[in-house]
Amino acid sequence: MKSKVISFAEYDKVDISAYQKVFALDEKAVKKEMDFLKNKNSTWADSDEVVDGAIIVCDMKSENSFFNREQLKLMVGQGFFNKKLEALCVGMKKGTTNVLDVDGDKVTVTVQSVQRKMVPEVTDEMVKNLEIKGIESVEEYEEYLTRQQKKKIADEEGFDAIQYVMKQVFENSAFDLKKADWIEMTDHEIHRLQVIADKENLNLKTMAPEDFEGKMPFSSYHELLVNVQYDSWDKLLRYLLGCVYAKQDGVEYTKEKYRESIEDYMKFWHETKENAEQINTYEYSKITFFADYYYQKVRGYVEKNYFKEDK
């Protein structure tokens, strides 16, 4: 491509205070993750008394054949066998026998053994076993969970801020833009969509509104083309800026990266290698890589600064 960047505004200097929010930690979500870690490291130990959640082995006798059981193993409170009977077992001692009234049925229950779940407190060792890069202590794990919450919110709600940053950069940068490059951008996308349409024996230029339904949010080729042309202009700018930042970071788009992208596409869309390469040509993938490289730079900036207390 012959287009180039003459000068550019830095994305991380754009003021996004109008989009910032106050962060409120979802403590229930953090507790859920911590409880999951506790349960993952829980053990079972012999106990003398039946409690809710315990695993017991018992013998039962009753005139109701359903309750005539030997060496029945059940988890109290789950209701998999009989919820009322399980509830009546709570408080019984290991080795004892009680006659229980279960909705009119007399059931003689003898508790043979009781095992109780032992849930430990979260330790640094448990956290290390999660193998999260850079996270080796309980405190670091809690901070990590907080960051994950912030990232999720910024991902879900930060789109407008990302678009604002890029708009400000585009408007305050200088480019030497060639119409031929914009046309090339458009042609790459139209080619990709046509290859996909070919699989259903459809021609983009002659597709009727009902042909587009459920496939693309358009009703005609003209509407599709206008949208692609509009997006291609911004993609060209992102591509040019992405090339600049990638060069600064020492990042290149190699044949190996292309092969990896094709393999990912094949797995996600269950496509053959031939179809994947026809849909995503090397040149198209290269352009997309650098355009996305810049987008991710802006996205990272927004995520990092999306909450007011982080400023």
**pLDDT per position as a tens digit, 220-234:** 999 999 999 999 999
Separation CA 183–CA 223 (nearest Å): 16
Please give the CATH architecture assigned to the domain spanning 43-118.
Answer: Roll (3.10)
For range 98-121, the mean pLDDT: 96
pLDDT digits (tens, 9 = 90+) for 242-275: 999 999 999 999 999 999 999 999 999 999 999 9
Query: Quick check: 184 and 283 in contact, CB under 8 A?
Result: no
Q: Do domains 4-21+158-310 and 43-118 have the same CATH topology?
A: no
Alpha helices per DSSP H over the chain? 27-40, 83-89, 124-129, 138-157, 159-171, 179-198, 209-212, 221-249, 255-269, 273-279, 282-305
Give the separation between CA 37 and CA 31, rounded to whole angstroms.
10
How far is 87 from 166, CA to CA, in rounded Å? 61
- CA atoms of 291 and 161, how far apart (whole Å): 18
The pLDDT assigned to 311 comes to 45
Cα 175 vs. chain centroid, distance in angstroms?
Answer: 36
pLDDT exceeds cutoff 90 at 310: no
Q: Identify whether the C-beta of residue 81 lies closer than 8 Å to the C-beta of residue 74.
A: yes
Q: What is the pLDDT of residues 137-193, one digit of tens each?
A: 999 999 999 999 999 999 999 999 999 999 999 999 999 999 999 999 999 999 999
Domain ranges across the chain: 4-21+158-310, 43-118
CA distances from 8 to 29, 62, 112, 253 (A): 41, 84, 77, 22
Could you give the angle at the alpha carbon of 50 between the alpha carbons of 49 and 56, nearest 5°? 115
Closest CA to 89 of 74, 68, 104, 69: 74
CB atoms within 10 A of CB 255: 8
Q: For the domain 4-21+158-310, what is the CATH code?
A: 1.10.3120
Judged by DSSP in three states, 61 sits in strand
Do residues 205 and 221 touch, judged by C-beta distance below 8 A?
yes
Burial of 306 (0-12, 13-18, 19+ CB in 10 A): buried
Percentage of residues of the chain with pLDDT beyond 90: 97
Contact yes or no for 241/294 (Cβ under 8 A):
yes
